[in-house]
Amino acid sequence: MGLLEGKNALVFGLANDKSIAWGITQAFKREGANIGISYAGEMLERRVKPLAEKVDCKWVEECDVTKDDQIAAAAESAAKHFGKIDILVHSIAFAGRDELSKPYHQTSRDGFKNALDISVFSFVALTNAFLPVMNEGGSIMCLTYGSGAVKVAPHYNVMGVAKAALESSTRYLAYDLGPKKIRVNAISAGAIRTLAAAGVGGFRDMYKHFADMSPMQENVTIDDVGDAAVFLASDLSKRITGEILYVDSGFNIMGVQMGMKGE
């Protein structure tokens, strides 16, 4: 019997089969969860629908998380389909190309608002909308990048600031939802070649550096993140909330980054 047998899990932010959200979706399915998938925009529909079929997902909904009415409609639709929800995954982030290619001090007001709205407020809004249909003992999680949130990751710019706000939001939501026995956590994944990562300047160099400098000397995969998400979604983590779980081969612990022993 799987760790998530009989649980209903919604994953927001699936884009394609390279997405961290796909690694999480597959791991949830493997562990017995009933899956629901939401994606952003018609352009992604043709990529997402075939993936949904692979995991026997019958609830596949488009949701623009910048619009409260669409979030409310998604919550209502999910409640009709599943009844109650046990797991909610937020795998959504966006910053304009300009904001990721220019220096941070040149971030535009609109670019800043957009990045924070889509990458952070959507997590708060989804939590608020789905709370009435979440089971006690439920688990809510988001995806962050701690090395860009609490430290500087060159070219990450406003996205790093957004991730810092997302991590802070995780803690405040954990505090709010604790009495309801609903946990709220974040996973900080290492460098993974996703659609979102492709927009960050210098990512190719960063990807190689990550493998060279992390204690385990290897990159992580969407499957690694999926396994960590299963832990946070399952009863194995029932007393863990407000945490940032790093899945990055230990890269975040490194201060001075030099070539590893044995090179």
Catalytic residues: 145, 156
> Is residue 178 within 8 Å of residue 236, measured between CB atoms?
no
d(CA 45, CA 42): 5
- As beta bridge partners, residue 247 has 189
